[in-house]
Structure formats: C-alpha cells, structure tokens
Amino acid sequence: MTTTSIRLGELADRLGGRLTGSPDIAVSGIAPVSEAGSGHITFLSNSKLRHVAAASQAAALMLTQADYEQIGTDFQGVYLIVPNPYVCFARVAQWFVALNSPAPAAGVHPNASVAATAVIAATATIGANAVIGEEVVIGEHTVIEPGVVLARGVSIGASSRIYPNVSVYEDCVIGDRCIIHSGAVIGADGFGFANDKGAWIKIPQTGRVVIGNDVEIGANTSIDRGALADTVIEDGVKLDNQIQIGHNCHIGAHTAMAGCVGVAGSAKIGKHCTFGGAAMILGHLTIADNVHISSGSLVSRSISEPGQYTGFYPLAKNADWEKTAAIVRNLGTMREKLRQLEKITKNKE
C-alpha cells in the first residue's frame, strides 16, 4: 500500500479546527497518543490521558480547547483544536483509508453470473463468483465483492459496498453508501408459523427488507423480511456482528446496536437509540427515540420515555447469587405475610 500524506492546514480546513503551528506540516497517518511518531497525527478524547498526550511524539494533536488550556506547552508538536476530537479522529481515519486504498476497477468479473435483465451501472464493480439475479438494479460506484448472491428484484443504491458471501433475497432494497459485511443475510424468511393441533403451518413471508442510506451491517447479521409489510432499517443505522432483526421490525434512523443483540418480530425502535451487546428486545414492543439499553438487558415491555435502561442483576459469587435468587422467589410470600402483620397491627391499635 502506498502511503500518502496530508497537510495539517488541509485537515484544519476540513475539520473546522484551529492550528497553533505551521499549516504546511504533513502527516502520513493517525495513531494512538502513546504510539504515535513524528509522521502521525493523534487525538485526545479522554481528559484523564492528558499526561500521556503531553508526552506524545506525534507531529500534531487533536484536542478540545479545554484540554489545550490544561496541557499548554508540554506537548512539543502542533495542536489542532476541534470541538469533538473523537469524531475528528473518525473523519481523519476515513480520509487516510481513502488516500491509501485504490478503488477497485469498474466492470463485471468474467466468473460472475449476471442475469440478462439485471441493470448494472457502468461504474459498479462485480467480483468473481457473484450471482446477480433477474431484474437486479445496482447503482453507480457500488462494489459487489466475490461470492455475493443477489436474488431477483434486489435494488442497491450508489456507492455501497457488499463484502464477500453476503446473500440478499428477492426484492429487498438497499440504499446509498451502505456497507454490508461478509456472511450477512438480508431478507431471509421471518419466523412465522401457525399452530394447527400441534403441527406448525408456515406463514409465507411476502414483505421485503428496506434499508436506507448510510447503513452499516456487520458480519453474520441477519435481517428477516416482513410477513406482509416490510422490515425497515432507516438511514444511518449501525448494526454490529451477529445481530438478529426479526420480521416486520422497524429500526429508527441513527440507532446503533452492538454485537449479538436480538430483536424479535414487529418491534418498533425509535431514532438515535443505542443497545449494548447481547441486549434482547421482545416482539411487538415500541421503544421511544433516544433510549439507551445496557448490555445484556432484557426489554420485556414498551418504553415511552428517553433515557438509560438496565435490566440485569449485578455480577456476584455464585453462592451469593443463589441466595439472592431464593429471596426473590419468595418475595410474593413475604409480601403477603407483611400485609397480614399490618392488618394485625391496625386491629390492635
């Protein structure tokens, strides 16, 4: 990979930050404060690490005005003062990746299988062993990596990237600038069955999965198609690896879920929510905007107010946990005894 540098002045212009030194100094990468060298820019997003940042060997340090005033002249490089160093770190890292990663060549690989009725933009890239079904539409500058399978009627917007061995079932819609990682399955049948005297009768899943713009879906994540209506993932949603989204769910814009979250069918989740790893959401619930669920929590009822919610016992030694569980199981009996005691006390009074 060829390393390309960028001037601090250009970074400051792009980030809207203020430099304390020469704008002509060039940096060729970004690194953590403790590991950065003379060719790097680094960042400080945790004020507790000011002493580490002050000793950094980086050429430039992104930080807030408050941290700049505290560190002062201790750091020997150039300061780039910005409102949010962590966000700026993400943007700078994106630019370096774009500078140093050549764009794949447009066109269809000879080993790809493309249906005659598929419509593929001239600037799109179709990798080896990809299977593009009937009436698929692929937008400008979209990259379909090797082994991807797109069933009939799939539509993918511009500048999206679908990594190897992703499967997208029929008629699903994927927006612009989406990223879908290896092993993801979009549009498999939802878990829908009717019980007829002990036998399970399959309910055809005839809805779609509709994914908005700027969505990222992690490796081996599954999003089920709707039974009748669509499963909807709005703009800017970020899903980690190994997440399950059930049929007819609706995930609001810019909601983020960490690994192994499970969302049962027909749950409706608001915008700007976050879910820690292994959180579970039962079906047919409604969760308001700006709700934040802690890792490992079980959401068993709808949430109408924004805020942080946690639903698990703190970790304890097994013997202590068993004692606590025994007490919890007997709370109903204890409550009834307390009520009886209250009645006896009132009668004596």
Q: Which residues are identified as catalytic?
A: 247
Best CA proximity match to 299, nearest among 309, 307, 308, 314? 309
Give dist(CA 127, CA 122) in Å, integer. Answer: 14
Cα-only R_g, the chain: 26
Which sign does the torsion angle of CA 54, 55, 60, 61 carry? negative
Best CA proximity match to 211, nearest among 162, 259, 149? 162
Give dist(CA 119, CA 126) in Å, integer. Answer: 12
